[in-house]
Amino acid sequence: MVSSGWEWILYLLLYAFFGWMGEVLWHAVTDRRFVHQGFLNLPLDLPYGISWAIMIQVLPTMGRNYLMQFVFTTVVLTVVRSLSGFLLRRISHMDQWESQRTIPQSWMVWAGRLLIAGGMLLCYHVFHPLLAALVLLLPKLVVKLLAIALGSLTVLDFGLMVYALRHGVPAQAMEIRSQTSALAQRLTDRIWRRLQRAYPGIEADPTLEKHYTFAQGMCLDKLVWVFVISALLGDILETLYCRLVGGNWMSRSSVLYGPFSFVWGLGAVVLTVTLRHLAGKSDRWVFLGGFVIGGAYEYFCSVFTELVYGVVFWDYSSMPLNIGGRTNVLFCFFWGILAVVWIKVLYPPMERSIEKLPVVAGKVLTWAVVIFLLCDAALTGAAMLRYDTRQDRPEASNAVETFLDSAYDDDYMESRWPNMKVARTKDQTE
């Protein structure tokens, strides 16, 4: 696993570069020409980098279970590609990027994705240890400076691409030339020429014109409400499940204030973005997608909370067919059923209900909810981190820790999340 955030950023960018090189080599062999299909002008393919950054944190927890590693790598690659394609479409107002770069036959797309996942897993076991050894030889200051410099260039390039794609659409070229500087014109024109070489026929998506319907289509506003409603319903469902099975009421919320389970909310967003195109297909395909993606998602959430907050919220080690204690086959089965119910039954009427909100009121409410949940999540994260450090250092060292110790002491945290355990305590008992 990665020991610091700067090291993690450096790995993300390095593997984004290697992923970009892999795509360039592929097109050089198959098309016999240089093709730069990355979103950025820099030689980076961020979806590959993000997938690798997740892999190097999660795969070590799976030991030598290579089948699980392969399944998880495939799921991560699929989810990251789907989410990145959705975000790029919303940010740039361009047609789906993935549709420009994949093969028409769906079975060939999946065969290619499985092949890529297998190659990534092979590189993880063969190439990554060598790269990790080289990174460890670098002084920490050098790693930090490299991460800051390369990360800043990436952010700057991303902003430039968003500007060019939002304001440099060919149909608007005359207007742009009359309103922008000569430098902006040259940069915009150069970016468009590169994109049109890489994606022949690329053009603005006509379905993304502004409408007087709130959250029409698949957009960020709609996903915010999908997250909020699912987080609320998920918390209620888990609370009732604990009452019926365990015989007692237990808080299942992810945050200090409000009955919101972020695991359910994010899970609904992931299932919506990745499986909505299966709504017209047989239930078994939706079930299979939910079974695999849901199980991998639950496993990832367990690793994430342990690495970031130092706590474990659930442990299935005592259950049969568990996978590292982080998920199990039974719950994967439940994820599959939930995916079918969600995609086929619950999401369509929810989508229509969200779109019925008044435009102005919907925007105001969306921003209010986003700000509230961000503040709630930030305060929750601070309280959890202090709960973890308080086990070794009970005395507060600053005003923030004094406030957290007073408002959210151990008794409060343990009553709010009865199943929460400090991660290292779990390690010592194994």
pLDDT in tens, the chain (430 residues): 666 788 889 999 999 999 888 888 887 887 777 777 777 788 888 888 999 998 988 888 888 888 888 988 888 888 888 888 777 766 655 554 444 443 334 556 667 778 888 888 898 888 888 988 898 888 989 989 999 999 999 998 888 777 776 665 544 444 444 444 566 666 666 766 666 666 655 555 444 444 567 877 778 888 999 999 999 998 888 888 777 876 777 777 888 898 898 888 998 998 898 888 888 888 888 999 889 998 888 888 888 878 776 767 777 788 777 787 788 888 888 889 989 999 999 899 998 899 888 888 888 999 999 999 999 999 998 888 888 888 788 888 888 889 988 888 888 888 888 776 666 544 443 4
Number of other CB atoms surrounding residue 199 within 10 Å: 17
Our CA angle for 74, 238, 329, nearest 5°, is: 35
Full-model pTM: 0.69
